């Protein structure tokens, strides 16, 4: 049974659950340039209430492989990650991560406002009690990630 998405956000818990589900679904609409390994690794950086919600994604599969959740620190290598969720990071850490990522084929996702303009590929936000997202197509292209047009239709596209 897949994740169902609530139509409205009625509680905070629900908000994070939905956000986790969103992230999970982003995997489905994204193409990586080379074949992923045995797992799809979702890595988190920085603190976020979402981190708990990610637990729900453990052992789920996407693109035929199992999803693994990894909580990383800034100094950890990011190269085995397919998805990186950026939580609350200080500015320095953010810049360091972004630079280390450079053009690595890793989907970057955040729910911190304004980061999409700074190169994060997908930024989740709330609008009229609904969860919406912005996509930086430029960043994705640089990282050789193909984001489905279907997804793009739903997003506020940022170049």
Partner 1 sequence: MELKSFLSSPQSIRHKLMVIGLTTSGLVILLFLMASGLLAREFFSAKQAMQHELLSQAKMIAENSSAAVVFDNRSEARKILSALNSSPVIVEAVISLPDNEVFAWFVRENFQDNSRILKDKILSDSGFGNGDLTVDSDIVVDGRHVGTLRIGATMKPVYDRLLVFGFIVILLTVAGLAVSFYLLRQLQRSITGPLLDLTDMMERVSTTENYSLRASIETQDEVGLLTSRFNEMLEKIQLHDHAMEKELQERQCAEERLDYIAHYDPVTTLPNRNFFNVRLHQLSVQAREQGVRSALMFIDLDNFKIINDNLGHQVGDLVLKAVAARLRLMLRLTDVISRIGGDEFAILLAGLPASEHAGIVAEKISHSLAGPFQIGEHEIYAHASIGIAICPEDATDPMDLLRLADTAMYYAKENGRNTYRFFKPEMHGKAQQRMTMETGLRHALENGEFEVYYQPKYHLLRKEIIGAEALLRWRRPGVGMIGPLDFIPIAEETGLIVAIGEWVLNQACEQIAFLNTRTRTSIHIAVNLSGRQFKEENLVEQVHSAIIKAGIFPHQLELEITESTLVDTSPATLAKLEALREMGINISIDDFGTGYSSMSYLKKMPISTLKIDREFIKDLPGDTDDAAITSAIIAMARSLNLDIVAEGVETQQQVDFLRAHGCEVIQGYLISPPVPAKQFCEMLKIEQQQFA
Q: Which residues bind partner 1 (CB under 8 A)?
A: 1-2, 4-7, 18, 22, 25, 27-29, 62-64, 130-131, 133, 148, 150-151, 153-154
Task: Please state, in angstroms and rounded to a whole number, the distance separating the CA atoms of residues 42 and 58.
Answer: 10
Question: In angstroms, what is the minimal distance from the CB of 57 to partner 1?
Answer: 13
Question: In angstroms, what is the minimal distance from the CB of 65 to partner 1?
Answer: 11
Q: DSSP secondary-structure letter at 128?
A: T
| Token pair listed for 47 | 């603190």
Question: In angstroms, what is the minimal distance from the CB of 97 to partner 1?
Answer: 26
Closest to partner 1 by CB, 106 vs 131, is 131
Q: DSSP secondary-structure letter at 53?
A: H
Q: DSSP secondary-structure letter at 116?
A: G
Closest to partner 1 by CB, 94 vs 110, is 110
Q: DSSP secondary-structure letter at 103?
A: T
Task: Please state, in angstroms and rounded to a whole number, the distance separating the CA atoms of residues 83 and 25.
Answer: 12
Task: Please state, in angstroms and rounded to a whole number, the distance separating the CA atoms of residues 136 and 41.
Answer: 21
Closest to partner 1 by CB, 42 vs 97, is 42
Closest to partner 1 by CB, 73 vs 150, is 150
| Token pair listed for 156 | 């506020």
Question: In angstroms, what is the minimal distance from the CB of 47 to partner 1?
Answer: 25
């Amino acid at each position: 049974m897949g994740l169902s998405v609530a139509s409205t956000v009625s509680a905070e818990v629900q908000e994070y659950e939905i956000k986790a589900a969103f992230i999970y679904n982003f995997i489905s609409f994204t193409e990586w340039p080379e074949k992923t390994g045995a797992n799809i690794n979702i890595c988190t950086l920085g603190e976020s209430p979402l981190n708990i919600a990610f637990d729900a994604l453990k052992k789920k599969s996407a693109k035929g492989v199992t999803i693994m959740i990894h909580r990383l620190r800034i100094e950890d290598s990011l190269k085995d990650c397919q998805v990186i969720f950026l939580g609350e990071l200080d500015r320095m850490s953010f810049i360091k991560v972004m630079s280390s990522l450079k053009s690595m084929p890793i989907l970057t996702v955040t729910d911190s406002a304004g980061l999409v303009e700074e190169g994060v590929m997908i930024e989740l936000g709330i609008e009229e009690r609904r969860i919406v997202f912005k996509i930086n197509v430029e960043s994705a292209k640089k990282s050789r990630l193909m984001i489905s047009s279907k997804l793009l239709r739903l997003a506020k596209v940022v170049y």
